[in-house]
Structure 1
Amino acid sequence: MVKEAIDCIDAGTEYCPCKLAEYGQCLICSQCQGQVFCDCLNWKGVCIYQELHNNGYKAKEGRKTFDCNVEEVINNNNNLIIIKFKAPHKLVLDLVKPGSYIFIRTDDNHYFDIPISIMNSDIENDIISIAVEIRGIKTAKLLNTKANENIVIRGPYWNGVFGIKNILAQNNTKALILARGIGLAPMMPVIRKLLSQNNELQAVLDKDPFNVNFATELLEKYKIKTSENSLLDKGQLSDHAKVIIKDALEDGVTFIHIAGADILTYSVINYLNEINRNDVVLSCCNNFKMCCGEGICGACTSRFSGHRVKRFCKEQADPRNIFEGRRFI
């Protein structure tokens, strides 16, 4: 029997053990799941059960809420808004890593908080930048955001990208970035991390459905090869995208980061299967719905074969595994 590799993004951090451990549903620790033996699925160097015991069998204090001053607001035709705000230095440091996101409060009712990925975390000036696509009732309220006013956020959270261990494993190699739409925002911390590990990057950007590439200002700070092309055609991976991927692989690319909707990730995975390149390492955006960010509410859960339920606001996964064995009913 092969045990599935399971990883919790919060394991071993200052927020561990969390409410899941308190309620006997820890993703990692067998003893926190009510079993009598120690059999951690993915040990992070910290005994979660001991931490729970030392804390009186209660979860540690969760994420805090911050009132932050808005420095700048850029509105693009009321369908995209970029907000830059000043935040506490520790929070800015915590939000540098790939996959970082926060919840933004648009109403007095905290159940209406919106999960938004970090586009840039400037540790020199303590400025956080986010890009929000205006899609519904909650995001539309952000159009009222103005400079020099306060914005209420909750964080930090880190599971906005799947395949983080694959990103961290890339050193002195070649990587391809495929980004589409609002995926250009969470793409930036990934690019920053890959460059810091001395990787050679090529980024292919599809700005659809927007009329501007809102990541241009940040991309100009990095020396990477970029181009703008259509990645999807009528819900399928475009022929041009297939040529780009194939040429990149022939050029020695061994890692692809996909920043976009699930249909883009799914299409790229299928294409790699078609050309027998399952050896290519992947990472992608986490597009699951989120509400509490702590694995309790169930908004992020998905059912898989074998009666498995995964909480994707907490659980890290390889991009290929989030589609394999997934049940849609």
Structure 2
Amino acid sequence: MVKEAIDCIDAGTEYCPCKLAEYGQCLTCSQCQGEVFCDCLNWKGVCIYQELHNNGNKAKEGRKTFECSVVEVQNYNDKLVIIKFKAPHKLVIDLVKPGSYVFIRTDGNNYFDVPISIMNSDIENDTIMVAVEIRGVKTAKLLDIKTGGNIVIRGPYWNGVFGIKNILAQKNNKALVLARGIGLAPMIPVVKKLISQSNDVQIIIDKDPFEENFSEEILSEYKIEVSECSLLDKGKLSDHAKVLIKDSLKNGTNYIHVAGADILTYGVINYLSDINRNDVSLSCCNNFKMCCGEGICGACTSRFSGHRVKRFCKEQADPRSIFEGRRFI
């Protein structure tokens, strides 16, 4: 029997062991799951069971809540709001990496906690920038935020992107980034990481449903090839996008990051399969619903064949494995 490689984004960090381990539901440690033998699924250099034992069989202290001062607010016709706020230096550093996100609310009501990906984390000025698409009650509440006011955040969290190992593996390579809609925001930390690793980055942007390319100001700081096209056509990967992807692959690209909805990621995966390019490494946005961020509430869970349940607020995965064997009912 071949075991599936399971990777927890929090394993080995200051937030491990978490509540899942305390209640016998650790993602990687067999002994924290109640087994009598050690069969760690993904060793991170730290024994989770030993850490749990040393901590009195209790979870480590969880993420903290911070009240931050809002520096700047940009409102785009009440459809999109970009918020920049001051934050503690350590938190800003923790939120630099690709896939970082925080929970945001405007007051003491926990029901208005909403997970938002980090667009930019400036460690020199200790500021964080997020972009929020206004879609429902929770996000509409963020329209009340004004410059000079306060915002309450909880973090840091890191599993906003799948395929982080593939991002870290890209060095002195050619990379293609496909970004659509609000995906332009979590795209930025990925692009900055790729550039820092001496990669040649090409970006294709689809602004829909927005009128503005709100990532333009940050991207202008780098020498990157940026083009715009419609990535989706009637729910399918557009012919124009297919041509651009094929041309990029012919030019030596062997890694693609997809920053958009699952339908875009799914379209790219299927297209690569159709042209027999399953060798291309992928990463993508984590679009699963988040509520608690700790794997407890079950909002982020998805069921797969073999009665497997995965908690995607913590579990890292390769983009291709997200759709393979997934039950859509």
RMSD between aligned residues: 0.6
Counterparts of 2:113 and 2:145, CA distance in 1: 15
Output the TM-score relative to the length of structure 1: 0.99
Structure 1 residue 108 displacement after superposition: 2.6
Secondary structure of the residue aligned to 1:93 is: helix
Tell me, in whole angstroms, the C-alpha distance in 1 between the residues paired with 2:239 and 2:50. 54
> How far apart, in 2, do the equivalents of 1:141 and 1:111 lie?
11
Q: How does 1:271-286 map to 2 (within 5 A)?
A: 271-286=271-286
How far residue 164 of structure 1 moved from its aligned partner, in angstroms, is 0.2
1:224 counterpart letter in structure 2: I
CA displacement 1:98-134 (0-9 Å, x = unmatched): 0000000134321330000000000000010000000
Match of 1:65 in 2: 65
**CA distance, structure 2, for counterparts of residue 85 and residue 93 of structure 1:** 14
Aligned match of 1:287 = 287
Partners of 2:109 and 2:71 in 1: CA distance: 24
Q: Once the 2 structures are TM-superposed, how far is the Cα of residue 11 of structure 1 from its aligned partner?
A: 0.1
The corresponding residue for 2:226 is 226
**Match for 2:207: what amino acid?**
K
Distance in 2 between the 1:162 and 1:221 partners? 26
Rounded Cα–Cα distance in structure 2 between residues aligned with 1:43 and 1:52: 15
Which residue of structure 1 lines up, in the alignment, with residue 36 of structure 2? 36
Q: For 1:258-295, what per-residue CA distance to the aligned partner results, in whole angstroms no more than 9, with x for missing partners?
A: 00000000000000010010000000000000000000
Secondary structure of the equivalent of 1:170? coil
Give the aligned partner of residue 210 of structure 1. 210
**Preserved CA contact (<8 Å) 1:117 1:130:** yes
Asked if 1:253 is matched to 2:247, the reply is no
Aligned counterparts of 1:116 and 1:316: Cα–Cα separation in 2: 18
Q: Please tell me whether the aligned partners of residues 159 and 313 of structure 1 are also in contact (alpha carbons under 8 angstroms).
A: yes
Aligned to 2:27: 27
Unaligned runs of 5+ in 1: none
For structure 2, list consecutive stretches of 5 or more residues without a partner in the other structure.
Answer: none
Question: Is residue 83–residue 131 contact of structure 2 (8 Å, CA) maintained in 1?
Answer: yes
Which residue of 2 is the match for residue 244 of structure 1? 244
Confirm or deny: 8 A CA contact 2:66 2:152 kept in the other structure: yes
**Percent of residue pairs identical:** 81
Q: How does 1:1-329 map to 2 (within 5 A)?
A: 1-329=1-329
User: TM-score, normalization: structure 2?
Assistant: 0.99
- For residues 112 and 86 of structure 1, the distance between their equivalents in structure 2, rounded to whole angstroms, comes to 20
Q: Secondary structure at the match of 1:25?
A: coil
* Residue 222 (structure 1) shift: 1.1
> What SS class does the counterpart of residue 29 from structure 1 fall into?
coil
| CA–CA distance in structure 1, aligned partners of residues 238 and 90 of structure 2 | 42
Whole-angstrom distance in 2 between the partners of 1:68 and 1:274: 48
Runs of 4+ in 1 over 6 A off after TM superposition: none
Instruction: Say whether the 8 Å CA contact 1:111–1:291 is kept in structure 2.
Output: no
